[in-house]
Structure 1
């Protein structure tokens, strides 16, 4: 295992012979331990009961990383449309993984009509050659198909009742996020078998997709369940500014592209402004954009000063955003890992209580944050 010591800093860190020094957020210092390196644009990480990891790479590979950092390819993944932001995306384990060994993957799936965001389910099996996926099948394919490689989403989060939330991007065609017949730009609510979850708000309504939970989203690449309330929280990319933290509720419209706190990349106004009756406000937004991807609530005793906070990875911002929460309200924000100088694609709290981040690069790294 390779170790590199860095210190968390809210402000620009000063270079020393040992790394980057500074203090922030009440944690005096943090060691950044590289668990695995030489990953190719890693997108998501899941934690195996034996202490190992599953890591998706955007080009379509699923890697098994052992506790000592050894890597091997897990065979049996779906064919992916690996272009632009598309590829192999999120990975989560079934809530009953120790018994059913089920793994879920989201990916961009190609077709003659264009590529869309799909959900794949398989069983993780062990063999002489290492881990492999068996009995894999695509259990849901969103109709957000389009050509090009923009805005697939996509994160997964299991609700406490065992149903599954899946975020879907609007493929860079913003008006589609307001069409209830289009999965594009929505949060979906599914059963573990990929069917519409019972009680979804649009079941039985003509012209509405029954899988949709909420609409008016742009490109949500973060999703997590709040540890106390059991509610879904998401974070989505804005355009030039306007990244949003939302708590999506059933049947509600979160505004894109009618309302936004960002602007077009040309500098022009988006839609009708920042608010409109019948459309929801974010609980927090960024302007300028940090390009958020990956999020985790901190519950671990390992970080006593961060407990109850929300961590969000920043791609363009190249930092870890720590949001101080008071219930649903964001009451403060700090930038962590500013000295790292790398795009943060995913952030997770592991079962060992440590926070892990993935860096979006080739080579990229899986890094463990260890307080000192």
Structure 2
């Protein structure tokens, strides 16, 4: 998600952009009065949305109206969040592919942990991130039955940041989970692989895209391991891993048309990147920052040579991060978006995404539009947001069943109050 500048800086890169924006958009208010919205999903076949608030509630939007009572409130399960800035909390939501019949949905969130079996973690590690399964109450479709909770996954986290934990179901019916590298900066420190960083350590689950079968538990796990994951029987690779080499994949999405998985991956100080993620691929962190060699000891100095990179898959887009590359920079923390499949023909097939802000202290969110050329190469530009002098912090994006895209925003840097707005992104004309 975001990145706390006092910790080091965490950022990403892009292509040269035209001086005059060719895409002009309006942000049309959809609902307001939410707390730090980090994801929103539509109930299949219905005009209802579920939106998660970082501080621990799932809200219901019905026929465009935000209902006063939450679908579920899990604030008592979360660690105490910092009010000024935090990357923990309620981080992800996904509806089971057969939600219409079984009412199952999944939440990803942070939780405090009893580390009594590991004194090192008791004193030095920060929290645990979990994915849990719930069901809708049989009495009320806008209320969850908390007694149905089933824990799917549980991963201890050394630092408070780089949690990832977008979750979503692919066209194969499997649940995908993004995980950050464990936190701090430079993929270094307590809880990080000293030699290569967590992003390149396939024996553990940080810095990965995971893929599991929630419907068929096996081998004592609350999930099954589907065919096609990275390990393929290799005991040295964690069987849940589907793709590797990530720093903090913040907001992913499947293209409604072809099922491709797009992820924005927040990098260190100099660049930001967007990937199309494929099975078994390695996306380079911490050996690479976007398309550039990376030295975790000197993070702002990118070596000319970084050894064999033939096994790495480059991002489809990169742009300069304002922390260390202020000239022509476009932001400090990429926010992954969606491939537009709505009614506005000129946008169809374009990837709409953004950046949290161009600086930390004052909100200056960015909306980008990227296009794929006939050669498979992607280009991007900054969209001009008509009618707004300043765009709020861009936390996430969402997509409805018609393929329209929404921006989930906040006017504060931390999960406080209920002052935030979800906007529908529409053509300026």
> Aligning the two structures, in what range does the TM-score lie when normalised by the shorter sequence?
0.7 to 0.9
Q: CA deviation at 1:186?
A: 0.6
- In the other structure, the counterpart of 1:169 is 180
Task: Work out whether residues 258 and 271 of structure 1, in 8 Å CA contact, stay in contact via their aligned partners in 2.
Answer: no
Q: Which structure 1 segments of 5+ residues have no match?
A: 1-9, 13-21
Partner of 1:324: 371
SS in structure 2 at match of 1:250 = coil
Provide, for residues 195-217 of structure 1, a one-character-per-residue CA deviation record: whole Å limited to 9, x for no partner: 32223120421221100011110
The RMSD of aligned alpha carbons is 2.9
Q: 1:352 to 1:228 in 2, by over 3 A?
A: closer
SS of structure 2 residue aligned to 1:142:
strand
1:155-188 deviation line (CA, Å, top 9, x unaligned) = 1232211112211001225111111111010111
- Structure 1 residue 131 corresponds to structure 2 residue 143: yes
CA distance in 1, matches of 2:252, 2:409: 18
Q: 1:156 to 1:265 in 2, by over 3 A?
A: farther
How far 1:59 moved relative to its partner? 1.1
1:35 equivalent in alignment to 2:77:
no
Task: Between 105-114 and 163-172, report the one with greater CA deviation.
Answer: 105-114
Kept after mapping to 1: 8 A contact 2:268/2:299: no
* Correspondence 1:1-372 to 2 at 5 A: 24-25=22-23, 30=26, 32-48=27-43, 49-67=45-63, 68-75=65-72, 77=74, 79-83=77-81, 84-111=86-113, 112=115, 113=121, 114-125=126-137, 127=139, 130-134=142-146, 135-143=148-156, 145-146=157-158, 148-172=159-183, 174=187, 175-193=197-215, 194-261=223-290, 268-269=300-301, 276-288=309-321, 289-301=331-343, 303-317=344-358, 318-326=365-373, 328-337=376-385, 339=388, 340-360=390-410, 361=412, 362=417, 363-371=419-427, 372=429
Distance, in Å, in 1 between the alignment partners of 2:140 and 2:167 is 30
Q: Secondary structure at the match of 2:277?
A: coil
Task: For 1:307 and 1:299, locate their aligned partners in 2 and report how far apart those are by CA, in whole Å.
Answer: 5
User: Structure 2 vs 1, CA of residues 343 and 118 (structure 1 numbering), >3 Å: closer, same or farther?
Assistant: same
Structure 2 length normalisation: TM-score? Answer: 0.73
Instruction: Tell which has more relative contact order, 1 or 2 (C-alpha 8 A, sep 6+).
Output: 2
Q: Matched residues in 1 for 2:287 and 2:303: separation?
A: 4
* Cα gap change, 1:129 to 1:259, in 2 (>3 Å): closer
Instruction: Report the Cα distance in structure 2 between the residues aligned to 1:168 and 1:34, rounded to whole angstroms.
Output: 31
User: Using the alignment, how far apart are the partners of 1:128 and 1:191 within structure 2?
Assistant: 28
CA–CA distance in structure 2, aligned partners of residues 207 and 24 of structure 1? 49
- Per mean C-alpha deviation after superposition, the further-off stretch among 120-129 and 313-322 is 120-129
Assess, with a 3 A threshold, how the Cα gap between structure 1 residues 272 and 178 changes in structure 2: closer, same or farther.
farther
Give the Cα separation in 2 of the matches to 1:300 and 1:319.
21
Cα distance between partner residues in 1 of 2:169 and 2:264: 16
- Could you tell me the TM-score, scaled by structure 1's length? 0.83
Q: Tell me how far apart the structure 1 counterparts of residues 298 and 53 of structure 2 sit (CA, whole Å).
A: 32
Equivalents in 1 of 2:209, 2:56: separation in Å?
23
Which structure has greater strand proportion? Answer: 1
- Number of equivalent positions: 348
